[in-house]
Amino acid sequence: MAESIRDPTSQSIASDPVEIGVPQSLARAVLSRRSEYLRPAEIRVKVGTWNVAACTGTDKDLAGWFTEDAEVGRSLSALDISDAPPRRSTESGNEAPEPRRAGKNGGYDLYVLGLQEVVDLNQTREYMNRLYVDNGPMEKWTAALEAAIPQGYQLVVSEQMTGLLLLVYASPAIAPTISNVSTQQVGTGLLGYFGNKGAVATRLVLGETTKLLFVNCHLASGADSASLNRRCWDVGQIVSKTQFDPIVIGGVSDDEGDRIGDEDFAFWFGDMNFRLDGLPGDDIRRLLTLHARGEYDLSNDKPPPIEGDDGIIVMRSSESDDDTTTMSSMHSRDHSFDQSFDSESSLPDPDDFPEDPSQDPASLQATIDSLLPHDQLRRVIKQQKLFHDGWREGSISFLPTFKYDVGTFGLFDTSEKQRAPSWCDRVLYRTRKDREAYEKKVEELKEAKLKDEEMRARGIEEDDDVLFSYDPDTDGEEQPPKAASSEAYDEYEEYDINDTGAEADDGDQDQISLDFYTSHQRITSSDHKPVISVFTLRYDAVDPEKKAQIHSEIAFELDRAENEGRPGVTLIVEGGHGQTDGVVDFGEVGFFETHSCSITIANTSSAAASFEFLHETQTSEDDLGSSKWLKTSFHRPDDDGSKSQLGSSVTLEPGETILAIVEARVSEIPHVRALNDASCKLDDVLVLRVEGGKDHFVPVHGTWLPSCFGRSIDELIRVPEYGIRKFVKEKNIQGTITYDWDVHCSAPRELFKLTEAIQTVAERCIADEAMLEDLTVPRDPGWPFDSSTWTVEVAKQDELKAALISALDTNSPLADALPVELLSTQKLEIYSSILLLFLASLMDGLVPPHLWAKLSIELPNLGSLPVASWPDVKNHILDSLSMSPSHNIAFVFLTATLSRVVGELTSATQPSPALGALTRRLSFRPGETEATRKRRMRERRYAEIVSPLLFRTSDDKDKAKKDRERIVLEMFLRKDDRS
């Protein structure tokens, strides 16, 4: 585990002093002061689980039991439904609302929803057809949940494994602090690995300090002992097979990924399928139905069951400090009191009123308490088979969650199987301290066992100091043996699932609290009842601004504390947009834009200092870090005010100064894609290595301006007219543009603008050549798309490209982005270079891989096809591309533009040497005109340049595939009237 991840159950973190003169890394020095940049934080987590049994309409009931705006009553687990009309829990009534504390947005910080059986897997054939997950259920439930929760919540996890679905949404305040999300699937169903049973588990890091684990499971069904053993096996498989990705924080990665048990807070929920043992199912159904209808223990001298919504049994959690009553018993008291008010001798005895429902034998809670000792889950915990290592569960004060007749209220299974009611749907939770307390107890038991064995080996049966170790509070008299009649119930002895086996200290109790735990009996669309649990979590989170400040302070202190006899330099950052000293902040950085900042470096020691920037020599070619967007150089100011550039390593004598120029420019397409999808940021640390001295660390930051480059066509068609920068900022889009957004155009608007500009300027070039004596259109057949033919200075190209890219990202006029004095031929070259860059940056290409693979199979011999058959082949290609309309339109639009440019530029009469060389490589038909030959040569050259950018193939080195790509594009550039 990375050092920056702390144990949230610790009440304080000591700040180790930084020892002056002791070499240590900057990261460790910052870590030693982490108590200074941690702040207490608190979140509320709502966990819901429901087996929807593949029933239709269950998604419409979601808002009635899971959202914050629903009036969730504590009485929902024990409603009198004998005559009450059906209604959703969101309606007003005599329901006690769920206690809520107003947060920053009035709701919860995390919504965690676990569903089971979102698809019907009853038939084997249908299940086999669903080996590849159908996204329909995920889309349906995601839409239902997003419609129910407050706006602004961000999707953190959406994972489906066959019938299991896990959704996690975070509030706007919490979402930015979540990182290192890793989700794993473990199938334990058919053949031991199919996904009809198993779990979906996700791990995330909150505030750089706290790891949360959520496990949504569906265990094996069945009430017999073999099914119980299979459920225990399922849990063991889930625990053993789940391994998450390593955590990366601050550039430091774990050596291994986390497993279940390494987290700080864990929540295990779902349809666990544990049943009630040793009880007749008919009796349980009859008894609980009477409770549900408010008819249990009603004698003749008591009033009849209360009609309608007033007949509600109000139950409060055992964790509540309020008195717990039932409305039915309240009515009984009032009735008795009114009848005997005039008779002093008949006044009710206050002792007759039970203070707790569990004290009243006729109460629902007393019935529940009598059933829970027969619960299989509690039994296997007591037997230490599973979930005994610190897991806890809230007090159960609600009716069983399974099995009900669909569409009915309080009517338990009337099918042929007549299953006994059970609490199948559960929510368990555990903290790191719970697990450590269990492990501590196990270790203590091992030590005690070893001590006993040592004493027996020495011939000592009992401890010699037993008289002095007697504790009257804990040591009692020897108990008489149990009666034989009670031995049969030993296996059902009461077991507290919340007993971790060791005394929990006050600090642990402050870390998590269970605010609410209940089921929702009013939801009738499934044979299971949904269950929710609300938690309050307290932890220490990193304050990023304070951490950055301490980072800078430590870097400065480590430098200043260096021995004066050793080489040392002082750095002063000049310019930039940041307000923090010692930090290079480039502000907003767009694609191909160049930003620079200077750092004055002075030798403030008494010895010569040699130094260099370390990042230039120690980064790999595949790294998207400083080597790809940062460039450093050293300059020595001359007397005339100019600056002479020096090498990568510089030596300064004491008292000398030098300038280091740091330039930022994002120019690599993979880097642009990573920035667009938010998988990386413009944050880096320059390391100035002083030979024989202390290293200097200079944080570098930039704010990425979202770009249309490096995206897919499906993303770009969803960008409104006002441009992608405003769209992403206005809608607060983090990462890629998903299919949830509306489509605004049939093909990328940027492609339309570029092709229109190229056609217009190409026509202008021909006109300017005719009117201006000093302007000549290049005759090379590859111009203006061949970079070797460009006339614009290389140093000026990047500046012009950046201006056009900014215009595309902001939907500004392209013509206004280029200088007026630029020649039309140079403008055409810049437009063409941007078009090529745009095509190369498309993630899926104009012809996606799956379509091109299909065409390659259908048209294997394109090179041998006669030209006369090209029109038919073109129609076949267009039919195949029509499977993706946006790609089809973009392809047609681009090829039409290239064909038109070919026609415009073929009017040149004087051939160039390159044109002559290409002519010798091609064979022409007798009788063809010079204009026709020139056009075909330009068509072929354009196809050679552009085709690799349009088609996405797995093998870029296959010459045969490259030839097919060129021929396809060439036939679309050919005029329709040519044979």
Distance CA 751, CA 753 (A): 5
Average pLDDT over residues 23-42: 78
pLDDT of residue 916: 52
pLDDT of residue 519: 93
Looking at 179-183, 518-522, 613-617, 818-822, which range is the least confident one? 613-617
The residue whose two tokens read 């605004």 is: 744
pLDDT of residue 463: 52
pLDDT in tens, 349-376: 545 544 556 667 778 888 899 999 999 9
Domain ranges of the chain: 562-704, 749-973
Band (pLDDT 50/70/90 cuts) for residue 74 is very low
Helix spans in 859-912 (H): 870-881, 885-905
Give 749-973's CATH code, choosing from 3.40.50.1110, 2.60.40.790, 3.90.1150.10, 1.10.555.10. Answer: 1.10.555.10
102 or 809: which leads in pLDDT: 809
Residue type, 234: D
Angle (CA) 108-112-113 rounded to 5° is: 125
pLDDT of residue 813: 93
pLDDT in tens, 277-310: 888 878 888 888 877 776 665 543 444 443 333 3
Does residue 127 carry a pLDDT above 80?
no
Does residue 645 carry a pLDDT above 70?
yes
Burial 839-876 (b: 16+ CB within 10 A, else e): bebbbbbbbbeebbeebbeebeebeeeeeeebeebbee
pLDDT of residue 347: 47
In the chain, the percentage of residues whose pLDDT exceeds 70 is 74
Band (pLDDT 50/70/90 cuts) for residue 775 is confident
Does residue 725 carry a pLDDT above 90?
yes
- Name the CATH superfamily, with its identifier, for domain 562-704: Immunoglobulins (2.60.40.10)
pLDDT of residue 478: 47
77 or 26: which leads in pLDDT: 26
Does residue 548 carry a pLDDT above 90?
no
pLDDT of residue 146: 94
Which sign, positive or negative, has the C-alpha torsion 718, 724, 728, 731? Answer: negative
Distance CA 147, CA 182 (A): 25
Taking a C-beta distance cutoff of 8 angstroms, is the pair 427, 47 a contact? yes
Give the H/E segment covering residue 542: strand 531-542
pLDDT of residue 799: 92
Strand order in the sheet with 643-645: 569-574, 595-603, 657-664, 630-637, 643-645
Q: Which pair of structure tokens corresponds to residue 235?
A: 């849990």
Band (pLDDT 50/70/90 cuts) for residue 417 is confident
Average pLDDT over residues 199-219: 95
Does residue 89 carry a pLDDT above 50?
no
pLDDT of residue 435: 93
pLDDT of residue 238: 95
Average pLDDT over residues 327-354: 41
Closest CA to 117 of 654, 695, 525: 525
| 562-704 against 749-973: fold identical | no
Average pLDDT over residues 31-46: 88
Distance of CA 85 to the CA centre of its chain: 42
191: which DSSP letter?
G
Give the H/E segment covering residue 179: strand 178-187
Average pLDDT over residues 677-681: 89
In the chain, the percentage of residues whose pLDDT exceeds 90 is 45
User: pTM of this prediction?
Assistant: 0.51
Does residue 787 carry a pLDDT above 50?
yes
